[in-house]
Structure 1
């Protein structure tokens, strides 16, 4: 991490994303509190969450094509400026439910463009050997920000209302845009298939990206693995509070400790990876964390000990963070530069689609069969995801000593 952060261009991206996440933490807490205060309805809160997911499904593939066609820093700056404007409008006019819904949709839409651009640009900012460190730094900053600032956000909203939290979010987006404006990245943009411009060109680029993913065993396998994992994690993450109350028999205070255990594990994961692993591009490191997390879900379902649950969830956090850093690094170092935006956007779509299905189905299953059944099934899905990856992707598919990505054809 230190070597990555020592590189000035990456530091700009790091601080832009970190400051933006500070604002996101305040906004996320304020948004759900505001909607519930305005309506008193859990359904309205659920609608707000859905409006944050839908843009990924609607615009994800187009966002990937845009990220691969236009300068990625420019895409990020435009997204940040737009998000700052929406967050500021929310701070001023947030007492209207329609405004809140529209803002949730708009913020998520622009984030759908920002995220694949940010993920795609990392390898251009650091040396190849420092990509793991760069991803570890970004992940660690995000986790620490959430753990440290979520309680402060709750206190601010309780004392001053949601408006100041949204204003802080607007300021964080503006600061991010200013930092990114000074970032210089030399990358080659993807050609438009067939030479078509406008919507026809975007559609052709989307089709070309999907075709390239289908031609790669690694990329198609990863899509399947991500879908299975999201079908598990959507429900188990959303219903952890139910597991705490009905199975572990603990109240809100101890539930907070469970979340803290996940956060501690997630923070330690990248440090463990950096300390003991020299090359993450191995199937055991890419797919092994799914097996680890699946085993944790089974343990949570099988035992009702609070202490055991704390330890297991810390291990789950380690698996989540090491898996994420490895996943990001493998894609960034094996997928051709001109294809990265579409690949990252596609995987965002796969994840959010399966996550949405999981949340809905998990709630129904918890009422019909009990919360333990949800975690047992979640564990089975994660174990299946890990085994699928280990069986389908031999070590050679993650690249040789020359870090070649020739098996992924570039459209």
Structure 2
């Protein structure tokens, strides 16, 4: 990517995403181990992880509004610094409720950081280079999924506190890398909900905030997405995909335990296979730029679904890991296409708000998928794998007309801006 090497904002954002994600993957290993080792409860470990997602699910919309009104760079840096302060305290917590409270605090930092970093994509990725630029950014987020768990495995014998301290150090580096990033264009005053229109009183302010979170922003984003059939289909399939991903969070360790009980750590090897595939897929995604992106998006979802469907039929480690490498690669290609299409179809000033609404809903679908897999474990791994395949590939096939008929967005215009003007 010769062009992206001269783009310092893109490289800074990519390195920031890389270091932040690298630390997060190690905490993802350390936090459930901490709860399991100290309190011996898988249910409490699941609850703790769910609590970490809760702030983003509940307050993602209002956070997006704050990002729109402020400087995304400050929110992105503040989210990273907040995580760096909270995460090291996990090992020092004495009671389970303290661990869970810190998990919620970590989730708050995450909730502020995600839409802010998404918004910074608009200034880091130049017009006309959406596919290549987003391919680099997705790879920067996917490569740590391979490296992080491996590093965590090396550090675990030295104590879980070292994992959390390492995460904090990477978060600090991620914040420093954002210094000097250019600011996205501010949201015009006409596009903001006027605070002056709010009636006086604390209760009235809460009511206005809730209305803005769950009514105004949702209605505006719904109108925005439904004006673009292609974007509407991709948004819907992102929800079903995350539901399937939630199912896989329980399916994969069950599969490793039941099929490869003689191989300690097989769950880690399978996860590393997905991480390896995702890393390769992020780098290779730019090769698909000459094809119709709707067809690419549909195809990679279908192939990934087939990979999950085949997994329970495999009883040897090598082909099982190989299939998951393919699944991870196609997932990364689909993610690159998704980000590139969103950026090219939405006005720059709407990107942060779109992702602020999308990410909490995706997190909610992820949690629902985990719960559904827990309720369906009695049906066996083949049934869970079939359900994963259906919810990943099925919507892409059923909504194929919307993907295949979607016209490419012209880089010379901002369709979302035209939609907003039309609505006014």
Could you state the TM-score of these two structures normalised by the residue count of structure 2?
A: 0.87
Q: 1:334 to 1:280 in 2, by over 3 A?
A: farther
Q: Could you tell me which residue of structure 1 aligns to residue 277 of structure 2?
A: 265
Q: Does 1:383 align with 2:393?
A: yes
> Which digits, 9 at most, give the CA deviation of each residue in 1:233-289, with x for residues without a partner?
211233112123335676334444322322222111123222x23357721123322
**Cα distance between partner residues in 1 of 2:291 and 2:20:** 28
Q: Is contact 2:254–2:381 with CA below 8 Å preserved after alignment?
A: yes
1:174 maps to which of 172, 188, 192: 172
C-alpha contact 1:13 1:179 (8 A) present in aligned 2: yes
CA distance in 2, matches of 1:408, 1:213: 11
Matched, 1:231 2:280: no
TM-score, length-normalised on structure 1? 0.89
Alignment size in residue pairs: 407
Matches of 1:55 and 1:95, distance apart in 2 = 23
Partners of 1:403 and 1:204 in 2: how far apart?
28
Describe how 1:5-404 pairs up with structure 2 within 5 A. Answer: 5-90=5-90, 93-159=92-158, 161-191=159-189, 193-196=192-195, 200=208, 203-204=211-212, 207-215=215-223, 216=226, 217-247=229-259, 251-274=263-286, 276-278=287-289, 282-304=293-315, 306-367=317-378, 369-400=379-410, 402=412, 404=414
Question: SS of 1:114's equivalent?
Answer: helix
Residues of 2 paired with 1:30 and 1:360: CA distance?
22
Q: CA 1:212 to 1:393, structure 2 compared with 1: closer, same or farther past 3 Å?
A: farther
Q: Deviations over 1:205-243 (max 9, x none)?
A: 764432233222344323321222122221123311212
| Cα pair 1:209 1:343 within 8 Å, conserved | no
| Alpha carbons 1:231, 1:381 under 8 Å: kept | yes
Q: Between 181-190 and 54-63, report the one with greater CA deviation.
A: 181-190
Provide the aligned C-alpha RMSD in A: 2.6
Instruction: Name whichever of 59-68 and 319-328 sits farther off.
Output: 59-68
Counterpart contact for 2:270–2:320, Cα < 8 Å: yes
- Partner deviation per Cα, 1:25-66 (whole Å, 9 max, x = no partner): 332222222212221111221111111221121111112222
How far does residue 306 in structure 1 lie from its aligned partner after superposition?
4.3
Deviations, residues 177-204 of structure 1 (Å, cap 9, x unaligned): 2222322224122535452267636843
Structure 2 distance, partners of 1:206, 1:65, is 12
* Kept after mapping to 1: 8 A contact 2:346/2:414: no
8 Å CA contact retained: 2:122, 2:184: no
8 Å contact kept, 2:345–2:409:
yes
Counterparts of 2:31 and 2:133 in 1: how far apart (Å)?
A: 30
* Contact 1:247–1:371 (CA under 8 A) maintained in structure 2: no
Secondary structure at the aligned position of 1:399 is classed as coil
Q: Specify the alignment match of 2:201 in structure 1.
A: none
In the alignment, the residues of structure 2 paired with residue 267 and residue 224 of structure 1 have an alpha-carbon distance, to the nearest angstrom, of: 25
What displacement does 1:334 show? 1.1
Q: Is the 8 A contact 2:143 2:278 kept in 1?
A: no
Asked if structure 2 preserves the Cα contact closer than 8 Å seen for 1:122 and 1:131, the reply is: no
Question: What is the distance in 2 between the residues matched to 1:246 and 1:139?
Answer: 33
**Corresponding position of 2:202:** none
Structure 1 unaligned blocks of 5 or more? none
169 and 265 in structure 1: CA distance in 2 versus 1, 3 angstrom threshold: closer
